[in-house]
Amino acid sequence: MLPRLADPIAAVATAPGRGAVGIVRVSSTTPLGPLIEALCDRALRPRQAHYGPLLDARGHAIDHGLALHFPAPASYTGEHVLELQAHGGPVVLQLLLARCLEAAAETDAAGRPRLPGLRLAEPGEFTQRAFFNGKLDLAQAEAVADLIDASTEAAARSAAESLAGAFSREVEALHGRIVQLRLLVEATLDFPEEDIDFLRQADAEGQLAAIAAALDATLDRARQGALLREGIRVVLAGQPNVGKSSLLNALAGAELAIVTPIPGTTRDQIGQTIQIEGVPLHVVDTAGLRESDDEVERIGVQRSWQAIGAADAVLFLHDLTRRGQPGYDAAEAGIAARLDLDGAEAPTARVLHVFNKADAVAPLPALPPGAIALSARQGEGLDTLRRALLERVGWHAVPEGRFIARERHVQALRATKVHLELAAGQLHAPAPALDLFAEELRLAHDALGAITGRMTPDELLGEIFGRFCIGK
């Protein structure tokens, strides 16, 4: 449910905990002069920092700091905004916030509250107001949270591009081209005896193809942006003692997992996030896949299979020093069958074969196509593995640059692509049904609108902004 957007709101706008500086923010559709007078005992010049005491109800200083007033519409939310910058202790900031609420309820000389209805902001409500007041579109608003949450430099840069409007401009350009084609088609529906010839003369087919090509380019960059934001969940799978923990340690560059020659050392999942070319990789070491009488180990193996099912990429580790041993090979075949490597859709795009302990085998035997030989202990072959992982999940260089994107953006672009393909099918039919062609263009138009907020239901808006921090 959307919050009450007409209410004035206040919140601590900096992260919880101690810091050098903390900020309390107030936003309101009504002027903030009376509240400013109570807190600062003077008027503030717009968009200028004023240093001085920040006062309690008795006129005593809670703290000394900066006060900034941003009259509407030249503010983050598009409303009247007051920011109080004080020392960043939790108690100080809570006292300032409580004083804002208290002062808002106080009456002036005419008996009117200084700022009627001031309440605590809900998560993401400041940015939500910026969206509703036209300061940001929905994709830019989401980029605010993505910039805050970025776990790599590449993700932060891409989020900044989206916040600056790079993604939105591409979507809006596609949106405009579809609108132009829709106008053309709608105009022909009033003259059915001339519609096909008119569309051919206007090169409707060429326009549709050009839109589809531009959409494919945007979709490709959005997929890359989604990888930067979400990262890749990589699971290390295989029998006990094939080197999964050693590989995790090698990729992380730290001794995270215990490595011993004793089978079954790893009984639960151990995870670490690393980055390759700016892409976050959430690497999970799992219990060795085998039958066991140990109840704890059986639970660990069950969790391993659950992790494999949820992974974006699975590194199926093999031990080169044990190849040819009947028991080992039989267990390998059983794991492979369960991974569905031998089925009609095999090998699955998620599974990458990694043959470990290459330093202990000479010469190397022939390996399956696409497999990688390495030594987790010596670090040989790790760069090849890193490149292969990125290729397996579809990462590649994008010359035009990247913008951050979410899975919902990718899904909206895919839906747009489907409707454009259906529209092309109608246009190429022996007896084109132009009303259906126009309808598919409308649906493509609506799918794109969900990205920037043109066609977004309130329930989705509530979910998106509810994931923000309180003061944003």
Q: What is the pLDDT of residues 140-167, one digit of tens each?
A: 999 998 898 888 888 888 889 999 999 9
- Boundary of a domain, candidates 135, 166, 185: 135
pLDDT at 265 > cutoff 60: no
**Which CATH number fits the domain that encloses residue 193?**
1.20.120.430
With a CB cutoff of 8 Å and minimum separation 6, the contacts of 343 are none
pLDDT at 399 > cutoff 70: no
Are residues 347 and 236 part of one domain? yes
Kindly state the percentage of the chain with pLDDT values over 90. 43
Q: Picking from 246-255, 426-435, 439-448, 457-466, which range would have the lowest pLDDT averaged per residue?
A: 457-466
Q: What is the pLDDT of residues 357-380, one digit of tens each?
A: 999 888 888 888 889 999 988 889
Instruction: Kindly state whether residue 251 falls inside one of the protein's structural domains.
Output: yes
pLDDT bracket for residue 458 (50, 70, 90): low
pLDDT (mean) for 185-196: 66
pLDDT bracket for residue 403 (50, 70, 90): confident
Got the DSSP string for 358-381?
GGG-SSPPP--TT-EE-BTTTTBT
Instruction: Kindly state whether residue 461 falls inside one of the protein's structural domains.
Output: no
The percent helix, strand, coil of the chain (3-state, each to 5) is: 45, 15, 35
* Predicted local distance difference test score (pLDDT) of residue 215: 95
Q: What is the pLDDT of residues 216-261, one digit of tens each?
A: 999 988 988 888 888 888 888 888 888 888 888 888 775 554 444 5
pLDDT bracket for residue 302 (50, 70, 90): confident
**Which CATH number fits the domain that encloses residue 338?**
3.40.50.300
Are residues 181 and 49 part of one domain? no
What's the mean per-residue pLDDT of the chain?
85
What's the token pair of residue 22?
Answer: 């903390």
pLDDT bracket for residue 455 (50, 70, 90): low
* Predicted local distance difference test score (pLDDT) of residue 257: 44
H or E segment at 425?
helix 407-428
pLDDT at 83 > cutoff 80: yes
Q: In what order do the strands lie in the sheet with 351-356?
A: 270-276, 279-285, 232-237, 313-319, 351-356, 372-373
pLDDT at 328 > cutoff 70: yes
H or E segment at 317?
strand 313-319
H or E segment at 420?
helix 407-428
With a CB cutoff of 8 Å and minimum separation 6, the contacts of 215 are 174, 413, 416, 417, 420
Q: Picking from 256-270, 317-331, 394-408, which range would have the lowest pLDDT averaged per residue?
A: 256-270
Are residues 385 and 242 part of one domain? yes
**Look-up: residue for tokens 């008795």?**
58
pLDDT bracket for residue 420 (50, 70, 90): very high
121 close to 36: Cβ distance less than 8 angstroms: no
* Predicted local distance difference test score (pLDDT) of residue 346: 33
C-alpha closest to that of 263 among 227, 289, 282, 224: 289
Instruction: Kindly state whether residue 182 falls inside one of the protein's structural domains.
Output: yes
| Dihedral pair phi/psi, residue 36, rounded to 5° | -60, -40
C-alpha closest to that of 100 among 46, 36, 41: 36
Domain total of the chain: 3
Cα separation of 226 and 404, whole Å? 6
Instruction: Kindly state whether residue 200 falls inside one of the protein's structural domains.
Output: yes
Residue 43 falls in which region: left (phi positive, over 0), alpha (psi -120 to 50) or beta:
beta
* Predicted local distance difference test score (pLDDT) of residue 59: 93
* Predicted local distance difference test score (pLDDT) of residue 459: 57
Are residues 125 and 65 part of one domain? yes
Dihedral (C-alpha) 249, 250, 254, 255: value to the nearest 10 degrees? Answer: 40
pLDDT bracket for residue 457 (50, 70, 90): low
102 versus 467: which is more confidently predicted?
102
Q: How far is CA 107 from CA 7, 29, 395, in A?
A: 18, 19, 60
Got the DSSP string for 131-160?
HHTTSS-HHHHHHHHHHHH--SHHHHHHHH
* Predicted local distance difference test score (pLDDT) of residue 259: 44
* Predicted local distance difference test score (pLDDT) of residue 443: 94
Instruction: Kindly state whether residue 207 falls inside one of the protein's structural domains.
Output: yes
Q: What is the pLDDT of residues 30-45, one digit of tens each?
A: 999 999 999 999 999 9
What's the length of the chain? 472
Instruction: Kindly state whether residue 464 falls inside one of the protein's structural domains.
Output: no
Q: Picking from 191-200, 241-250, 406-415, which range would have the lowest pLDDT averaged per residue?
A: 191-200
Domain extent at residue 158: 145-227+403-452
Cα separation of 184 and 205, whole Å? 12
Are residues 178 and 114 part of one domain? no
Q: Picking from 33-37, 211-215, 372-376, 418-422, which range would have the lowest pLDDT averaged per residue?
A: 372-376
3-state SS assignment for residue 46: strand
Global pTM? 0.76
